[in-house]
Amino acid sequence: MRSRLWALLASGALMTLPAAAEVSGTTLLVAARALSFLQHPLQGEVVVGIVYQPENSQSRLEALQLNGLLEDGFRAGTLVLRPQLIKLDDLAGSHVGLYFLTSGIGNAAAVLAQLNGSRKIPCVTTDIAQVKDGNCAMGVRAVPRVEILVNRAAAAASGMTFSEAFRVMITEL
């Protein structure tokens, strides 16, 4: 109950993202930079699994935006992110180094958390509700102020351990 209250407050603090969040290059850069504070950061070329629901227009739109941003390789220092669109129903067969969970999928995204319990693949989203629900470990927002929200239980489940310098500067659940 207490954790749910916190999650509710945190989502309020992060100024709940618009229903159809537009993912910008800045958001992606914040996500990539935040991942650099993993104790074992991603390096080199990493395939980003863009998880979406084709029948959900918000999710599909964000997936297309992300795919457009990543299709030529998105560079953040030595990290190069390349996209792979993954339908939520096809998650089991995917092989990627990072999940980007699109917005608006709702409770259906729980399948990602269940799957990731064994795969230990980092997950990032702009859908703060998914972080609150533990379906994705890290939520990011770039404007008007950079905010990073990490669900500690989800992070632990997906093998994401951050440096202490990073932890003390972000919001955790």
Radius of gyration for the alpha carbons in the chain, expressed in angstroms and rounded: 14
Q: Which of residues 10-29 bind another protein (CB under 8 A)?
A: 10, 12-15
Cβ 12 to another protein shortest distance, Å: 7
Establish if 107 lies at the interface with another protein (CB under 8 A): no
CA atoms within 13 A on the CB side of 11: 18
Establish if 172 lies at the interface with another protein (CB under 8 A): yes
Establish if 171 lies at the interface with another protein (CB under 8 A): yes
Q: Which of 47, 64, 76, 110 binds another protein (CB under 8 A)?
A: 76
Interacting span for another protein (CB under 8 A) from 57-65, 71-79, 97-105, 111-119: 71-79
Residue written as token pair 């994401």: 160
Establish if 82 lies at the interface with another protein (CB under 8 A): no
Establish if 33 lies at the interface with another protein (CB under 8 A): yes
Strand order in the sheet with 147-150: 74-76, 79-87, 45-52, 98-101, 123-125, 138-141, 147-150, 171-172
Q: Which two tokens stand for residue 149?
A: 């929200």
Is 14 in contact with 139 (CB distance < 8 Å)?
yes
Write the burial class of residue 4 (CB in 10 Å: 0-12 exposed, 13-18 middle, 19+ buried): exposed
Establish if 156 lies at the interface with another protein (CB under 8 A): no
Cβ 20 to another protein shortest distance, Å: 20
Establish if 93 lies at the interface with another protein (CB under 8 A): no
Establish if 74 lies at the interface with another protein (CB under 8 A): no
Q: SS3 helix, strand, coil % of the chain, rounded to 5?
A: 40, 25, 35
Q: How far is CA 28 from CA 16, 63, 118, in A?
A: 18, 13, 26
Establish if 152 lies at the interface with another protein (CB under 8 A): yes
Cβ 54 to another protein shortest distance, Å: 33
**Which residues here bind another protein, judged by CB under 8 A?**
6, 9-10, 12-15, 30, 33-39, 41-43, 76-79, 144-146, 152, 162-169, 171-173
